[in-house]
Structure 1
Amino acid sequence: MSATTEAPPRPAAKEPPPPPAEPRRLPRWAWALIVIGVWILVWSVTKGQDTLAIAAREHTEVQDKLTDFRDSVLASRDTNPVIQFTYQLGEWFKSLVDWFQRMISIPDFPRPVPQIGWVGVTAVATWIGLAVAGWRIAILVAASFVTFGLFGYWSDSMDLLIVTFVAVAFAVLIGMPLAVLLGTTSRIGNSIINTILDIFQTMPTFVYLLPIVLFFGIGASAGVVCTLIYAMPPLIRIAGHGIRSVSGTTIEATDSAGQTRSQRLRKVQLPMARKTIVVGVNQTIMAALSMATIAAYVDSPGLGQPVLNSLFKNDVGGAFVPGMLIVVMAVMLDRSTTAASEASEKAARGGVDMRQRRIVLALTAIPVVVALWMSRYYTWAAEFPETELGPKLADKVNSFTDWFVDTFSTYTEWFKNVITDYLLNPMQDLLAESPWYVSALAILALALVLGGVRALIPTVICLWGLKFFGLWHDAMITLNMTLVGTVLVMILALVFGVLMARRKAVDLGLRPLLDAGQTIPPFVYLIPMLALFGPTRFTAIIAGVVYAAPVAIKLVADGVSGVSATTVEASRSTGATAWQEITKVQLPMAKGSLVLAANQGLLYMLSMAVIGGMVGAGALGYDVVLGFSRSEEWGKGAAAGISIVLLGIMVDRIARAAADKDEVTHNPAKRPWWRSAMG
């Protein structure tokens, strides 16, 4: 028997060496704290030096040159073809608005009343609401129009509607071709158009008024033009996005049938993007209503006039009533356009009996014709009868305001002092009382830390512009108020946004209020804040917080609720408390939404800077208002307006770059190829 030999044991396979540990890097927030710490140390020994502060009535050479430019434009009105064209265009807009006014809102002399009285106008508007959106919207429209008259502001309400719809009509005529261009052009062309739209959308509303008044005069012409320019970007951007988002497969399938580019646009892209286009029109109407209200400052007709007059007199009740009617109008227009979009979608799917609908519209048109006839021949149907509802409500609001202020003034004063002493003043000292070059270097370092080179380049350009236009000190004060307001906005957004995301009942209760809050023009927010805090910078900040909070709260709520339910359940299975679940899982995973909320909060706060200048905010807002009030200050006002735009672009670019950097950090697949190659 032969001996068996065992095979020698195989050597154990060597385990691959562990990958080298990546060196730990300080997070961006830590670098930001280091920059701020160094800034505070330098400020402590250099404060008050080279702050570039100038007196209220002092001008720089650049500001004087801007005033000279204005004077030269005004002097060349009779010879300069560009000025002649813009003024002629303004006169045409003014004539168009005047024609509509004589039709529905003011006497058309020698006729002592408008051509169509309030009964006819209300009947026509109600029938249009029925035709485009259904019975519910028809009732809403009828109730809204009657409310305008009951509270004594029929003519002002109609004037505001006229300016809004004239501006929206031309915004659609001009904006839709640009939206088509945005939706069909190359990537480079898309970037150029988007950059221009970004500039317009970061520009606070009041800043539009200075150049518009210079080239178009004051009154209805300025109101229509500035409203048109302000309201057009949302339509271009949203409609362009809808056209670009049409399925490529659908386009390829229809292209195979040999259609031309024009046919593709008319028969495929525009019909399939219809819902998005209607959303763009809705946003344009809301923007136009907001701007048409503010345009009262340049003598544009509408409900903004009584609001502005009452604010100047510190008459809270007198401002509240037309302000409330502006909100009614905003809700009516918002709900009507939204319902019209839904109704058109339903009709396109064949969910509406068109024969029955035509019969209903034909039958309901009969009383509309009767109402039109009555409004032309009966005084009671032509001119809304006077009522005491408006004055009585104004008196009650004033009485309530006096009671509220007397009762809670101790608490509101305490709150104002706490925010002012512990947040507003220290940050203003750091930003505005540091030497300008120290603040500039610190802001540049923060831009680099938070957003990288992509944020650094526009920050350099914007900071140079702030110094060039000679209002560095005022710009830092305005930036401080904006940042403090944004901090307060984000506190509200985190508290209520998380509650909405985690409690369905809270979401159902708060979301309608937030939706309504987003339809209120910013002017209206000043009314209660002015009563509570008086004409101070704090009033402007709190009004801005109330204006910016709805959009920030909704963004945070949507971001937190969008966190995967599986991830949340996994954290609960490990025994995490509710606080740990929020702070360790939901908020970190919703970081992109938080950054976007902060970005929008900054821009909304900055857009209130000039409006706040009317109630004691000072700084750039006051400079713009001063430029409106005194011709010799026009250059300083223009420089302040440009400086606000530069601040808006700077904070917007830093926030966007920070958000994009977060996305790349958490999703390496989205890194540029050159960053991946460099590791």
Structure 2
Amino acid sequence: MEPGAPPPVVENAGLSRWIPALAVVVAWVLVYFFTRGNHTLDLPSLSRTDLHDRLTGVQNGLLEGRSTNPVMQFTNAIADGFRSTVDWLQRLVSKPAFPRPVPQIGWLGVTALATYVGLVVASWRIALLVLASFLAFGVLGFWDASMDTLIIVLISVLLSVVIGLPIAVWIGTNARANAVVTVFLDLLQTMPTFVYLLPIVLFFGIGTSAAVVATLLYALPPIIRIAGFGIREVSTTTIEATDSSGQTYWQRLFKVQLPMARKTIIVGLNQTTLAALSMATLASFVDGPGLGKPVLQGLRVNDVGTAFVPGALIVLMAVMLDRTTTAASERSERVARGGTSNVARRRLVVIGGGVAALVAVYLSRTYVTLAEFPTYSVGGRISAGVSDVVDWIKDNLGGVTGGTKDGITEWVLNPVQSVLAESPWFVSFAAIALLSLVFGGLRALVITVVCLLGVWYLDLWHDAMITLNMTLFATLLVMALALVFGVWMARDRRVDLGIRPLLDAGQTIPPFVYLIPVLALFGPSRFTAIVAAIVYAAPAAIKLVADGVKGVSPTTIEAGRSTGQTTWQEITKVQLPMAKGSLVLATNQGLLYVLSMTVIGGLVGAGALGFDVVYGFSRSEAWGKGAAAGLTIVLLGVMLDRITRAAADVRRDDGPGPRRAFNVRLPIGPPR
């Protein structure tokens, strides 16, 4: 656009889609008033259908043939291998090993080695962060649980790298492979975390092996997707220039593509590490070891104080791992560009640190007091203090929080839920399908019909509509927050500098931990689950909106100001329309982040599909219903994801928004 040109005229195609959508909703509500309560397919919360029992029968059959079924024998062998590896590492760093009464490498040696690794791969600042984190694990009384979590994460990340990097190279250098593998990556990343656990428990049992397998599967897609993208984005000009010298495929890969994609690959490692920590925490539901167990114990008895300290340590661990991998990425880039200085001094520091770490290992193997972390009551005092604070909040703010919860539930959640869940199932089916056609076109309609038929077949239609209601309401509030804070950040650099670090920190926190403060404020309820989902999903959506609005051309904005536009007109008529690609992407990610909290919300009274999955975990005879609920959540996720993707493609063709945002596939959430 030339300087001084008038601002772009945004077409009203987006508005035209809302007119038929509103007509569909009005017709739906009218039909609801005459047909409500009929053919709702409502199933009592503890009841099961023949389909659910048949699925349970499949599980029982596999378990009965565990000793003769080749697949079960294979998975048993893998489970035994993981179990032995974890047991050996536990005896090495935390658990007593018979006949030796203390760990083979005690807390001092482990802390020194971890600090040394932080120094080598990053900097002395990261080394201090690692040192403080490990000391906090012990001082707060959760050394063994923290080491267990780190062991699960370490094994899963190493296996993710070993398995994921070759696949990343494959999809980064082969377009057909990329198209095929991406389908499976989309499925894995659309699937809420808890859904992983049901089939894993069936094939690998409960405990350590299930925790490792679940964490590995959840952590694998980020490194494949991100590293593959980095390899694929290496300049074709560079590749052609080096090919002209006659290099082979392997020479091109190891001397050009991998070195040039180094930074992106380490970013993928960062995301994989955080995903592994998130899943390792949730694996406590299948008796996986680690910090998730005391958090789960506190949530089950509605004791925020008990859950607070291990929850805070999970956050600290996430920050430590995130900052360490990020700093390692930045340092590797500087080294590759020859930007390091004082090489001799750093070599001296590294050698000295290595000697100190070895001395610490020797001392921890020699003296019992340096092997077993001393017992402190600091964590207990903090838990008691938090419980007192929670009691004070309930006594003094219970009226405000309770009133807010009851008001929103009665006037917003319940009416919409009634239309969704109390309409005849075929009416809701038709209305949702028509809305998908309006917003996403024929492609979205086909996928929506397939997914809704799957939901109907799995005999959990009523619960699915309740979950859909909570998901849509939470996403609406997430986007409201994203618009307010995203635009504010984009228009004020100081606000961006102040808020962005908080958003970054929020995205490193595993979703399990978000329940703790929200539970303290609102108690167990459906509203609590919704608030936790909003807090979890908002950071990603806010950042996407902020970056999209910030990317609007300054020339376009100046042209609008020259016509005398007000600030409100500038935002609503120029910046938001020009950033609509980012808005749709933020909506897509917000939906999937919220949906990923469905089962976790079932722990604090959300009911519906989340409760069904938890119920399937807790009762062996209800495994089939839990599996059906997990598949239903996946179908809802695929449906919502494809509708927003299709809507993004339609919007891209409507007006002058930034099309380059859609040159690659929209990422599936919740990637970190």
Deviation at 1:559, TM superposition (A): 1.2
Identity of aligned residues (%): 63
Whole-Å Cα distance in 1 between the matches of residues 657 and 391 of structure 2?
Answer: 58
Quote the residue 1:313 is aligned against.
Answer: 301
Give the direction of change, closer, same or farther, for the CA distance of 1:668–1:554 in structure 2 (3 Å limit).
closer
Question: Separation in 1 of the partners of 2:48 and 2:347?
Answer: 66
Residue matched to 1:374: 363
Q: Distance in 2 between matches of 1:59 and 1:145?
A: 47
Is 1:210 equivalent to 2:206 in the alignment? no
Pick from 284, 305, 313 the counterpart of residue 325 of structure 1.
313
Cα contact 2:580–2:657 (8 A) shared by 1: no
Query: Is residue 152 from structure 1 mapped to residue 134 from structure 2 by the alignment?
Result: no
- Give 1:670 deviation, angstroms: 7.6
Residue 212 of structure 2 corresponds to: 224
1:74 & 1:147 partners in 2: Cα distance?
Answer: 42
Instruction: Give me the whole-angstrom Cα distance separating, in 2, the residues matched to 1:332 and 1:270.
Output: 26
1:27 aligned to 2:35?
no
The residue type paired with residue 32 of structure 2 is W
CA distance in 1, matches of 2:558, 2:396: 47
Q: Structure 2 vs 1, CA of residues 217 and 200 (structure 1 numbering), >3 Å: closer, same or farther?
A: same
Distance between the aligned counterparts of 1:670 and 1:550, measured in 2? 24
The Cα offsets for residues 458-498 of structure 1, whole Å up to 9 and x where unpaired, read as 11111110011111111010010101111111111111111
1:659 equivalent in alignment to 2:659 = no
| Aligned with residue 76 of structure 2, among 79, 87, 95 | 87
> 1:565 Cα deviation (Å)?
1.5
Please report the TM-score for the alignment, with normalisation by the length of structure 2. 0.94
Determine helix, strand or coil for the equivalent of 2:653: helix
Cα shift at 1:357 = 2.7
CA RMSD of aligned residues (A): 1.7
Q: 2:93 aligns with which of 97, 104, 114?
A: 104
SS at match of 2:654: helix
* Equivalent residue, structure 2, for 1:588: 577
**Is 2:492 aligned against 1:492?**
no
Residue in structure 1 matching 2:599, options 610, 616, 619: 610
**Displacement of 1:668:** 10
Distance 2:50 2:298 in 1: 37
What is the deviation of 1:57? 2.9
Separation in 1, partners of 2:314, 2:514: 12
Which amino acid counterpart does residue 274 of structure 1 have in structure 2? R
Matching residue of 2:666: none
Matches within 5 A, 1:421-432: 421-432=410-421
In 2: Cα distance, 1:507 partner to 1:402 partner: 35
Q: Paired residue for 1:561, among 534, 538, 550?
A: 550
Take 2:246 and 2:555, find their aligned partners in 1: how far apart are those partners?
48
In structure 2, the CA distance between the partners of 1:26 and 1:278, relative to structure 1 (3 Å rule), is: closer
> Could you tell me how far 1:598 is from its partner in structure 2?
1.2
Deviation per residue, 1:356-384 (Å, 9 max, x gap): 43222112222111111110111221111
Q: 1:642 aligns with which of 631, 649, 656?
A: 631
Comparing 52-61 with 590-599, greater Cα deviation is found at 52-61
For residue 676 of structure 1, what is the aligned residue in structure 2?
Answer: none
**Is the contact made by 2:14 and 2:651 (CA closer than 8 Å) also made in structure 1?**
no
- Residue 287 of structure 1: which of 251, 272, 275 is its match? 275
Q: Report the equivalent of 1:5.
A: none
Question: In the aligned structure 2, how far is the partner of 1:522 from the partner of 1:148?
Answer: 20
Partner of 1:14: none
> Partners in 2 of 1:69 and 1:326 — Cα distance?
36
Q: SS at the partner of 2:604? A: coil
Q: What does residue 461 of structure 1 align with?
A: 450
Task: Indicate the larger mover: 603-612 or 23-32.
Answer: 23-32
Task: State yes or no: 1:301 paired with 2:298.
Answer: no
* Structure 2 counterpart of 1:254: 242
Amino acid at match of 2:83: K
> What do residues 446-467 of structure 1 show as CA deviations (whole Å, max 9, x unaligned)?
1111011121121111111001
Q: How does 1:124-523 map to 2 (within 5 A)?
A: 124-186=113-175, 188-352=176-340, 353-523=342-512
Rounded Cα–Cα distance in structure 2 between residues aligned with 1:72 and 1:351: 61
- Give the whole-Å Cα distance in 2 for the aligned partners of 1:564 and 1:396: 51
Distance 1:23 1:653 in 2: 23
SS at match of 1:452: helix
AA in 2 matched with 1:572? R
Q: RCO greater where, 1 or 2, for CA within 8 Å and sep 6 or more?
A: 2
Q: Which of 564-573 and 374-383 deviates more?
A: 564-573
Query: Could you tell me how far apart the structure 2 residues matched to 1:615 and 1:101 are?
Result: 32
Return the alpha-carbon distance in structure 2 between the equivalents of residues 101 and 575 of structure 1: 68
Q: For 1:93 and 1:492, locate their aligned partners in 2 and report how far apart those are by CA, in whole Å.
A: 43
Q: CA deviation at 1:25?
A: 9.8
Q: Take 1:569 and 1:169, find their aligned partners in 2: how far apart are those partners?
A: 50
| Residues 35 and 71 of structure 1, relative CA distance in 2, 3 Å threshold | same
State the distance in 1 between where 2:475 and 2:316 align: 28
- Deviation, 1:250, is 0.8
Is 1:40 matched up with 2:21?
Answer: no
Match of 2:3 in 1: none
Give the C-alpha shift of residue 351 in structure 1. 2.0
For residues 127-178 of structure 1, the C-alpha deviation after alignment (integer angstroms, 9 at most, x for no partner) is 1111110111111111111111111111111110000010111111111111
401 and 177 in structure 1: CA distance in 2 versus 1, 3 angstrom threshold? same
Q: Any idea what the Cα deviations from partners look like across 1:272-292, whole Å, max 9, x if unmatched?
A: 111000000100000000000
Q: Greater CA radius of gyration, 1 or 2? A: 1
Structure 2 residue matching 1:94: 3-state secondary structure? helix
Other-structure match for 2:516: 527
Q: Aligned equivalents of 1:199 and 1:170: distance in 2?
A: 20
SS in structure 2 of the partner of residue 384 of structure 1: coil
Which of residues 29, 52, 56 is equivalent to 2:41?
52
Q: What amino acid sits opposite 2:602 in the alignment?
A: G
Q: After superposing the two structures, state which structure 1 stretch, 575-584 or 482-491, moved more.
A: 575-584
Q: TM-score normalised to the size of structure 1?
A: 0.94
User: How big is each residue's C-alpha offset from its partner over 1:595-626, in whole Å with a ceiling of 9 and x where there is no partner?
Assistant: 11111111111111101111111110111011
Taking the aligned partners of 1:329 and 1:664, their CA distance within structure 2 comes to: 44
Is the alpha carbon distance of 1:171 and 1:304 closer, same or farther for their aligned partners in structure 2, counting shifts above 3 Å?
A: same
Deviates more, 1:662-671 or 1:83-92: 662-671
Secondary structure of 1:614's counterpart equals: helix
Give, in whole Å, the separation in 2 of the partners of 1:514 and 1:405. Answer: 28
Instruction: Tell me the residue number matched to 1:633.
Output: 622
Give the letter aligned to residue 178 of structure 1. Answer: I
1:300, distance to aligned residue in structure 2 (A):
0.7
Separation (CA, whole Å) in 2 of partners of 1:505 and 1:260: 50
Deviation, 1:61, is: 2.5
> Which runs of structure 1 show a deviation greater than 6 angstroms over 4 or more consecutive aligned residues?
22-26, 668-672
Q: Matched residues in 2 for 1:441 and 1:61: separation?
A: 26
Where 1:666 maps in the other structure, the secondary structure is coil
1:216-236 Cα shifts (integer Å, max 9, x gaps): 011110000000000101111
Q: Which moved more, 1:486-495 or 1:513-522?
A: 486-495
Counterpart of 2:308, as a letter, is F
Structure 1 unaligned spans of 5+ = 1-21, 673-679
